[in-house]
Amino acid sequence: MTGHQTGNQDLTQRWQGALMNNYGTPRLPLVRGAGTTVWDAEGRAYTDFVGGIATNALGHAHPAIVDAVSKQIASLGHVSNLFIAEPPIALAERLLQLFGREGRVFFCNSGAEANEAAFKIGRLTGRTHVVATEGGFHGRTMGALALTGQPAKQDPFRPLPGDVTHVPYGDAQALAAAVTDETALVIIEPIQGENGVVVPPAGYLKAARAITAATGALLVLDEVQTGVGRTGTWFAYQAHEGVLPDVVTLAKQLGGGLPLGATVAFGRAAELLGPGQHGTTFGGNPVACAAGLAVLDTIEGEGLLENVKRQGEKLRAGIEALGHPLVGHVRGAGLLLGIVLTGPRAHEVQQAAQEAGFLVNAPAPDVVRLMPPLNLRDDEAGALLQALPGILDAGGDGRSGE
Ligand code: PMP
């Protein structure tokens, strides 16, 4: 907190005078958090089902994160890439163990950056063509934006890095038709988060693996939103049989609130980046990596994969059982859920939820997204279910974010 702290309206005004307006006016200034609860500048509490957009894996102020970060910053801060430190080594070893495969990890600071590294790894195959999906989201830097399949976000910035073909998501035939012997990589989200929690048909990832294997293209899975326990397995693809990607990109909840991204490569993809070919000053930062280790240890130690499955099912079944006329169905996996509405009322629902003390998000006009911390409690899920009929009945307006 700054000595300058004021109410919601004052903070919003100061924000307008000091920060770029690239996100549009924010919904609410938040000043404190504990677990799944956050407080605004006027002391009002909210149960946070946005979770920093699937980022606060353990909620706010989890003792394991506080302790790991405090100890690390008190002993060794940043070392640069000219030296090595233990935390990134330990985190890479731990990630590879969770993947159950040999590989190599490149650490960075965000999802976009993790995908940039994957893009460059693809170029080092000697091929340039990339296949990505319509509606897909991979980040806002120029390379990641070229992979993203959302023209409204891309158009003002063309020309973007080229030779990218976008195909309809979930359509294995379209994918097979687009991938050639010249294709360097195919990048796919196991579930399209930003596009509204879109789940592909069963067998899609397996088909993508077979198609890429047949032509020698790398299969890159963007698990920035789905990875690290979000969907009830360590990585979303692990729920699908017969899918072994060449590259997996991670960020968001890997750092448990600290900026931490990772590009994890296996097999020949792990050998492509050579000395001097890529880097980022903060990549492998010991403090961020210490937080990452605390996240993984806590997910394991507190049985959070089970919790994700249990709370996710409870929410899904509970929301569908409401039988509310505005609810079509609920899609997603684990604690990445999209409530698909029967009309374009997601912004109104988001606003009504906020007024009722729950933060949710509207990635599409007819989809309300839930992505709370992985340690969401029974009573917190229950409180949302209880409040939801009133929230769905109410109206208002709001905005989306990523
Ligand atoms: N990939 C996916 C699947 C994402 O959901 C996001 C962020 N919403 C990104 C990449 C970009 O991550 P970052 O904002 O950390 O750059």
- For residue range 160-181, list pLDDT tens digits in order: 999 999 999 999 999 999 999 9
pLDDT, residue 331, reads 98
Q: Is 112 in the pocket of ligand 1 (CB under 6 A)?
A: yes
pLDDT, residue 24, reads 85
Atom number of ligand 1 nearest to Cα 402: 8
101: Cβ–Cβ under 8 A, 6 or more apart, which residues? Answer: 244, 266
In the numeric block, the tokens 């890479």 are attached to 92
Please give the class, per CATH, of domain 76-301.
alpha beta
> Does ipTM come in above 0.95?
yes
- CB-based contact 47:36 (threshold 8 Å): yes
pLDDT tens digits for range 118-137: 999 999 999 999 999 999 99
| pLDDT range class, residue 238, cuts 50, 70, 90 | very high
Query: What integer is the mean pLDDT of 262-272?
Result: 98
Is 137 a known ligand-binding residue? yes
CA of 56 to the centre of ligand 1 (A): 14
Query: What integer is the mean pLDDT of 23-32?
Result: 89
What is the CB-side half-sphere exposure of residue 207 using CA atoms within 13 A? 15
- Residue 161: how many CB atoms within 10 A of its CB? 16
pLDDT, residue 379, reads 98
Beta bridge partners of 48: 359
Residue with the bigger pLDDT between 94 and 52: it is 94
pLDDT tens digits for range 190-234: 999 999 999 999 999 999 999 999 999 999 999 999 999 999 999
Query: What integer is the mean pLDDT of 247-252?
Result: 98
Vertex 245: Cα angle to 160 and 334 (nearest 5): 95
Q: Is the pLDDT of residue 396 over 80?
A: no
Is 280 a known ligand-binding residue? yes
Residue minimizing CA distance to atom 10 of ligand 1? 138
Is 79 a known ligand-binding residue? no
Q: Is 149 in the pocket of ligand 1 (CB under 6 A)?
A: no
Query: What integer is the mean pLDDT of 182-196?
Result: 98
Atom number of ligand 1 nearest to Cα 226: 3
- Which pTM value belongs to this model? 0.96
pLDDT, residue 216, reads 98
Query: What integer is the mean pLDDT of 277-289?
Result: 97
The token duo for 50 is: 């946005």
User: Active site includes 252?
Assistant: yes
pLDDT tens digits for range 293-309: 999 999 999 999 999 99
Q: Is the pLDDT of residue 400 over 60?
A: no
pLDDT, residue 4, reads 61
Could you state, in order of their start, the residue ranges of all structural domains in the chain? Answer: 8-61+304-393, 76-301
Q: Is 137 in the pocket of ligand 1 (CB under 6 A)?
A: yes
User: Of 49, 99, 137, 358, which residue is the catalytic one?
Assistant: 137
Tell me if the domain spanning 8-61+304-393 has CATH number 1.20.1630.10: no
Farthest-apart Cα atoms in the chain, separation: 61
Q: Is 402 in the pocket of ligand 1 (CB under 6 A)?
A: yes
Q: Is the pLDDT of residue 397 over 80?
A: no
Average pLDDT across the chain, whole number: 95
Q: Is the pLDDT of residue 401 over 50?
A: no
Q: Is the pLDDT of residue 395 over 60?
A: no
